[in-house]
């Protein structure tokens, strides 16, 4: 082969090598940014409840400990703060596993109606505190079998229902429905008549740590991780998640699942 061609091939190879390296470096830079960003968010999220708990402890040490009534009140509040920390750490643990890609799905066939009923039972007290009613949209809910990771879908439904209670108006209603879609799919909808979400926030809703009210002063505690966990789980199933919401009217979160053929176990 003539030398010129070899030189040309060589140059092309070097250019390709440089291009590959550049992509590699760019990817590393993005990962590094992501890591810094993540750590920044984590310490910020942990700071608020930690300072709150410390505040109660300092007040107790300052003398409040001698008054039984005050002591009990402050200890209960400190405990709430610790509870919040536990929730945040648990969510962080889960999101790290999900984002690092270590999520292994254990699919099985199960009745989605029964699963939703279980979550209703688990959240009964929480809903009752705000006089919120959790209901099915169907008069006689019949079993509907789906093929998915049961535990993870339970987490999805739980996160969506907890949100509908947290951001729902007192005495409101959250309705769940499961409908057939085309091609062996069902769609699960969780609809509330709560405070709703302003349009401009919707595109960023599923980002981790994203909250509509970023002030941190809101009374509803949360890590801002719930919806990003939901999205990860649904996407790991190769399914889709949707949201529709209107301020002061309410929100509807829905996701698809694969139906078990013949719809039985």
Name the residues that contact ligand ADP, by CB under 6 A: 163-164, 166-167, 192, 194-197, 205, 210-213, 222-228, 251
> Cα 176 from chain centroid?
18
If the CB atoms of residues 72 and 93 are measured against ligand ADP, the closer one turns out to be 93
**Separation of alpha carbons 203 and 222, rounded Å:** 19
If the CB atoms of residues 223 and 260 are measured against ligand ADP, the closer one turns out to be 223
Shortest distance, position 120 Cβ to ligand ADP, whole Å:
16
If the CB atoms of residues 192 and 239 are measured against ligand ADP, the closer one turns out to be 192
Residue nearest to ligand ADP (CB): 222
If the CB atoms of residues 111 and 192 are measured against ligand ADP, the closer one turns out to be 192
If the CB atoms of residues 244 and 258 are measured against ligand ADP, the closer one turns out to be 244
Shortest distance, position 80 Cβ to ligand ADP, whole Å:
15
Shortest distance, position 204 Cβ to ligand ADP, whole Å:
9
Shortest distance, position 54 Cβ to ligand ADP, whole Å:
22
Which residue's structure tokens are 């099985």?
108
If the CB atoms of residues 53 and 92 are measured against ligand ADP, the closer one turns out to be 92
Shortest distance, position 35 Cβ to ligand ADP, whole Å:
20
3-state SS class at 147: strand
Shortest distance, position 130 Cβ to ligand ADP, whole Å:
13
Shortest distance, position 132 Cβ to ligand ADP, whole Å:
11
Cβ atoms of 92 and 248 within 8 Å: the answer is no
**Separation of alpha carbons 116 and 145, rounded Å:** 12
CB proximity list for 115: less than 8 A, separation 6 or greater: 150, 153, 154, 157
Q: Can you state the angle between helices 68-100 and 3-61, rounded to 10 degrees?
A: 170
Burial, 249: exposed, middle or buried (Cβ in 10 Å; 0-12, 13-18, 19+)?
exposed
Helices (H), 178-219: none
CA-to-CA dists, residue 128 to 118, 123, 131, 173, angstroms: 16, 9, 4, 11
If the CB atoms of residues 58 and 249 are measured against ligand ADP, the closer one turns out to be 249
Which value, to the nearest 10 degrees, does the dihedral of the CA atoms of residues 35, 83, 117, 192 take?
Answer: -70
């Amino acid at each position: 082969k003539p030398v010129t061609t070899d030189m040309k091939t060589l140059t092309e190879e070097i250019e390709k090598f440089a291009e590959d390296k550049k992509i590699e470096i760019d990817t590393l830079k993005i990962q590094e940014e992501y890591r810094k960003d993540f750590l920044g968010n984590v310490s910020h999220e942990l700071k608020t409840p930690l300072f709150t708990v410390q505040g109660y402890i300092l007040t107790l040490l300052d003398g409040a400990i001698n008054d039984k009534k005050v002591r009990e009140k402050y200890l209960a509040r400190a405990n709430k703060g610790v509870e919040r920390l536990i929730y945040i750490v648990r969510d962080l643990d889960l999101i790290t596993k999900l984002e690092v890609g270590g999520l292994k799905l254990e699919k099985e066939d199960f009745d989605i109606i029964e699963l939703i009923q279980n979550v209703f039972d688990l959240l009964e007290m929480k809903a009752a505190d705000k006089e919120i009613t959790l209901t099915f949209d169907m008069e006689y809910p019949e079993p509907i079998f789906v093929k998915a990771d049961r535990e993870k879908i339970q987490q999805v439904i739980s996160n969506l229902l907890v949100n509908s209670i947290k951001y729902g108006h007192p005495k409101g209603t959250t309705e769940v429905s499961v409908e057939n879609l085309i091609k062996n799919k069902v769609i699960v909808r969780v609809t509330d008549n709560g405070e709703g979400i302003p349009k401009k926030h919707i595109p960023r809703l599923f980002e981790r740590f994203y909250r509509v009210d970023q002030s941190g002063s809101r009374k509803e505690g949360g890590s801002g991780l719930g919806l990003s966990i939901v999205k990860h789980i649904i996407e790991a199933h190769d399914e889709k998640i949707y949201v529709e919401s209107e301020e002061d009217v309410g929100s509807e979160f829905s996701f698809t699942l694969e139906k078990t053929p013949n719809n039985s176990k």
